[in-house]
Amino acid sequence: MITVHHLENSRSQRVLWMLEELELPYEVRRYERNAKTMLAPPELKRVHPLGKSPVIEDEGLTLIETGAIAEYLVEKAGGRLGAPGDQQGKLRYRQFLHYAEGSLMPVLLLQLVLSKIPLMGKLAIRKLRPMIEVHLRFVESELAQHPWFAGGEMTAADVLMSFPLEAAAARAGLGDDYPHIRLWLEKVHARPAYQSALKAGGDYAYA
């Protein structure tokens, strides 16, 4: 059975959702953030030296990085939630699987860090905001053309994109200018597997 080391309000919520979609058996070990620093507890370093989440353990393997975990689970499930069969769909799948953490999440994380800095942080966020809007407009245009990120069906690329877009909705002023992103989030949150993952993971601030 797969063990998921799950940190509250973190990227690991996506792993629980994906496991529910794939109907793979798993167990959850929950970890709470430090109330003052919001960092992961030191117990996670006993699982992996980086002390980060998500981490999964399966068949003697310890694996980190959401994208790598997603690819591992797709393979374990015989290709379910993997790339579509057409070439364009495959390229879109690969693109968004990496875009979520490689391009979109870093600017949102930077905004979060800057928001903790009095005065100077607010000034820096004003300069960062146009960069965030470039990303959101790009994502909005993509979802205006396709119901899911790889094309006509939900894939692991959608799972990877969920956390940064949930974070954007909560922290980056994702307003009525982005109706297709909002519709996509509503569609994701309504999925039975997503709701089951919320029950498994406990309180989650972004749903």
Residue ranges per structural domain of the chain: 2-81+193-201, 87-191
Q: What is the number of residues in the chain?
A: 207
Could you give the CA distance from residue 48 to residue 63 in angstroms, rounded to a whole number?
Answer: 9
Helix (H) or strand (E) holding 62: strand 61-64
CATH number assigned to the domain covering 2-81+193-201: 3.40.30.10
Q: How far is CA 141 from the centre of its chain?
A: 20
Residues 13/170, Cβ–Cβ less than 8 Å:
no
Q: Among candidates 7, 15, 75, 70, which has minimal Cα distance to 37?
A: 7
As a whole number, mean pLDDT of residues 99-119 equals 87
Give residue-wise pLDDT tens across range 159-200: 999 999 999 998 877 888 999 999 999 999 999 999 999 999
Residues of the chain with pLDDT > 70: what percent? 99
- Residue 4, helix vs strand vs coil: strand
Fold of 87-191: Glutathione S-transferase Yfyf (Class Pi); Chain A, domain 2 (1.20.1050)
Could you give the CA distance from residue 201 to residue 73 in angstroms, rounded to a whole number?
Answer: 18
User: What is the pTM (predicted TM-score) of this model?
Assistant: 0.93
Fold equal for 2-81+193-201 and 87-191: no
Query: DSSP state, 103?
Result: I
For 21-31, letters b (16+ CB in 10 Å) and e give bbeeebebeeb
Give residue-wise pLDDT tens across range 116-148: 777 776 777 788 889 999 999 999 999 999 999
pLDDT of residue 36 exceeding 90: no
| pLDDT level of residue 157 (50, 70, 90 thresholds) | very high
Backbone angles phi, psi at 204, to 5 degrees: -140, 120
Q: End-to-end alpha-carbon separation of the chain, Å?
A: 27
